[in-house]
């Protein structure tokens, strides 16, 4: 039934006629329920998968290209952002073979500094917006936040949904806010942050994922990194299954971004296995899978060096972010 609701031979507006709370509730609560025990067991089983040594270097390089190198602290300065951008473009100054990361993620007031440093290179500038991290502001304020970031040159916007509205069943409000932000983004890609730790159940994660995708999200993202637990393998598995099913029903590809608490190369590779085994190989690309992190890149570089030389570099060998 859901598949037939989504399909449109003219490629029309899927949400036409289903923007009310009641209609969206019927649609979202009609999704299949999540087997929580099964999801946790599946995620745990996939975490034991190993990658052969000859493939590990390729996996590490792929993970580097998927990183959204992030700094979202109150003490951030233009100088810190410029340093982060330099690292994003050339993660290891001693090894030009290391690929650049996908994006640098900053607050809206630092977008201009990041854009000036990155220029027209391949590294995108991502900006959090819409009253990050709480999402508790009027739509007017949220849209102004987005406009500031886009006007400063942001290529990607990471918005947060109003979790209070979602949990209260005000699905229409959440939907309309996402659609309005998507329009305000213009050419910039929109990542919709669900803050899954506050959604309480995996069923809610699925519903929020579908709601965001129906409203126009280019990516769905686990978390702000400001609430614990942030990204977890079971949540990522559910979201990856959602984008897979959404593509099968609608024909539109939506990406997934995991963020918060991913600090080691081992963690990153486990997520790559989840992507491959759940959504499929199509999503094994930075255009459809991202990892939001600040300290992860250094461990990826250390593990990469170990693969090439057989020796680990010290913790302070690479610059601290």
Would you please indicate which residues are annotated as catalytic (active-site) residues?
A: 158, 221, 257
Q: Name residue 105's beta-bridge partners.
A: 70, 126
SS3 per-residue string spanning the chain: CHHHHHCCCCCCCCCCCCCCHHHHHHHHCCCCCCCHHHHHHHHHHHCCCCCCHHHHHHHHHHHHHCEEEECCCCCCCHHHHHHHHHHHHCCCCCCCCCCCCCEEEECHHHHHHHHHHHCCCCCEEEEECCCCCCCCCCHHHHHHHHHHHHHCCCCEEEEECCHHHHHCCCHHHHHHHHHHHHHHHCCCEEEEECCHHHCCCHHHHHHHHHHHHHCCCCEEECCCCCCCCCCCHHHHHHHHHHHHHHHHHHCCCCEEEEECCCCCHHHHHHHHHHHHHHCCHHHCCCCCEEEEECCHHHHHHHHHHHHHHCCCCCCCCCCCC
Q: For residue 290, report the phi and psi dihedrals to the nearest 5 degrees.
A: -135, 155
Separation between Cα atoms, residue 182 and residue 192, nearest integer Å:
10
HSE value, Cβ hemisphere, 13 Å, CA-based, for 266: 4
154 alpha-carbon distance from chain centroid: 16
Tokens of 45: 């089983």
């Amino acid at each position: 039934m859901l598949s037939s609701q989504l399909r449109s031979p003219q490629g029309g507006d899927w949400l036409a006629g289903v923007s009310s709370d009641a209609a969206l509730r019927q649609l979202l609560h009609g999704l299949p329920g999540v087997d929580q025990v099964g999801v946790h067991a599946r995620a745990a089983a996939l975490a034991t998968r190993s990658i052969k040594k000859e493939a590990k270097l390729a996996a590490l390089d792929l993970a580097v290209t998927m990183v959204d190198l992030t700094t979202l602290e109150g003490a951030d300065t233009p100088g810190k952002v410029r340093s982060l951008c330099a690292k994003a473009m050339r993660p290891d100054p001693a090894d030009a073979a290391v690929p650049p990361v996908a994006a640098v993620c900053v607050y809206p007031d630092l977008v201009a500094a990041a854009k000036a440093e990155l220029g027209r290179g391949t590294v995108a500038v991502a900006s959090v917006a819409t009253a990050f991290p709480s999402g508790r502001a009027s739509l007017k304020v949220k849209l102004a936040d987005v406009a500031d970031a886009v006007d400063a040159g942001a290529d990607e916007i990471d918005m947060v949904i109003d979790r209070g509205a979602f949990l209260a069943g005000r699905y229409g409000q959440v939907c309309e806010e996402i659609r309005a932000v998507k329009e305000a983004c213009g050419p910039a890609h929109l990542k919709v942050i669900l803050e899954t730790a506050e959604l309480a159940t995996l069923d809610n994660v699925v519903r929020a994922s579908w709601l965001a995708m129906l409203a126009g999200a280019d990516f769905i993202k686990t978390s702000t990194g400001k609430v614990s637990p942030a990204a977890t393998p079971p949540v990522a598995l559910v979201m990856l299954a959602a984008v897979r099913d959404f593509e099968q029903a609608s024909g539109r590809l939506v990406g997934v971004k995991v963020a918060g608490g991913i600090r080691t190369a081992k963690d990153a590779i486990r997520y790559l296995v989840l992507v491959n085994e759940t959504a499929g190989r199509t999503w094994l690309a930075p255009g459809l899978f991202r990892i939001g992190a600040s300290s992860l890149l250094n461990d990826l570089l250390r593990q990469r060096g170990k693969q090439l030389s057989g020796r680990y570099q010290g913790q302070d060998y690479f610059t601290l972010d």
